[in-house]
Amino acid sequence: MNKIKKVGWGFEICNMHCRHCYNSSTERGCKYTFEQLKEIADKICPQIEDINFGTGEFICNPNALDLARYIKDTYPHVKMAVTSNGSTIVQMEPEEVKRLFSDIDISLDYPDEKKHCDFRRHEKSWEWAIGALRVLDELQMPHSIVTCITSETKNEDLEGLLGIARQYRANLRFNWFRKVGRGNEDLRITARRAWEIIEFLSDKVVFECIDPIFAGVLGVEAIPCPAGRISCRIHASMDISCYPFLKGAEWSGGNILDKGIDLDAIYTSAIFQKLRARKVAACQDCEFEKTCKGGCITRAVLHNGSMSEVDDYCPVAASLDINRLKRIKIRLQPTSELVHNGYLCTTICRPIV
């Protein structure tokens, strides 16, 4: 029985050329007509709860806004969100942002204008992101700053980002770096550093959700890696995979524009079944197995070579001091229904004011 409720949809057309982009997005991308996008919406919307538009910049697809308007008017039960570099939000009418979307994520990778613009290779990156945060704060709608944590993210950057989140009354979400697309090995962070960051944040924030790999050791509840279970991703080719970071024929459960392909067919496709049957030999008899279930499938595949491996941040595999990690105390208090909560392995928190 198909349990997919959360869909990510990316057109892969972007106005930036970020150093770390998992998709290597450029100005070229999805060129489907509005009628084709509408056909997909009609196939998926009756069954799902929410859609996040990411991968590429929403507004760069000339049909994206009409698609969101169509979904809002025809399927009002489907919540929509956008992950944006800010340009979509500053170009839209504020009232329409609020009418169409339930929550918005604004990407900000550094609290410093030059570093953020250099990382995103676009001179307006900072202006758009801060402009969008100002609009969203004024609209009083749920919004988050989303930061990609890489090997170059310092604790002082995290302090600065927490300050900006406080200023614009935003959550702070962490997209832990995945090595794929333009994102090279030099940006990858170690398990030790990932855990250092959790410890650093532990007395500064309240968590809304946390990656399952951290949850077991910290003794808190988490949704297991949702890939292929409750969430999936529509790519620009219209192939559907389990996750934004995994694409291509190997990961495709089918092309949603093909006749006879719908979310039921995707859910029962061989690759989606294989993902759900994932077993990680190294997790057998591990005290945390029940909560983390091998952690995030994408960090196993992209960093450790296969879905039968553990998540790259597994503290047991990395021989970290488990007793010390168990003493880290975090506060986990889910208070909202953010579209990003449960759609992929991610960490969302709110700064303690």
Q: Using the rule CB under 6 A, which residue among 107, 153, 231, 252 binds ligand SAM?
A: 107
Q: Using the rule CB under 6 A, which residue among 37, 45, 50, 57 binds ligand SAM?
A: 57
Residue 22 interacts with ligand SAM (CB under 6 A): yes or no: yes
Residue 55 interacts with ligand SAM (CB under 6 A): yes or no: yes
Is 133 or 316 the residue whose CB approaches ligand SAM more closely? 133
Do the beta carbons of residue 91 and residue 74 sit within 8 Å? no
Is 119 or 267 the residue whose CB approaches ligand SAM more closely? 119
Do the beta carbons of residue 131 and residue 110 sit within 8 Å? no
Tally: H helices and E strands in the chain: 14, 10
Q: In whole angstroms, give the CA distance from residue 113 to residue 111.
A: 7
Is 233 or 288 the residue whose CB approaches ligand SAM more closely? 233
Instruction: Tell which residue, 336, 244, 318, has the closest CA to residue 9.
Output: 244
Residue 183 interacts with ligand SAM (CB under 6 A): yes or no: yes
Residue 144 interacts with ligand SAM (CB under 6 A): yes or no: no
Strands (E), 124-226: 143-149, 171-176, 205-209
Mark the segment that binds ligand SAM (CB under 6 A) among 55-63, 64-72, 155-163, 203-211: 55-63
Q: How many CB atoms lie within 10 A of CB 200?
A: 14
Q: Using the rule CB under 6 A, which residue among 6, 79, 122, 178 binds ligand SAM?
A: 178
State the binding string over 257-276 for ligand SAM (x if CB under 6 A, else -).
--------------------
Alpha-carbon distances of 19 from 22, 24, 139, 184, 261, rounded to whole Å: 9, 9, 31, 9, 35
Q: Using the rule CB under 6 A, which residue among 8, 29, 54, 351 binds ligand SAM?
A: 54
- Token look-up 């951290």 returns 214
Query: Count residues contacting ligand SAM (CB under 6 A)?
Result: 20
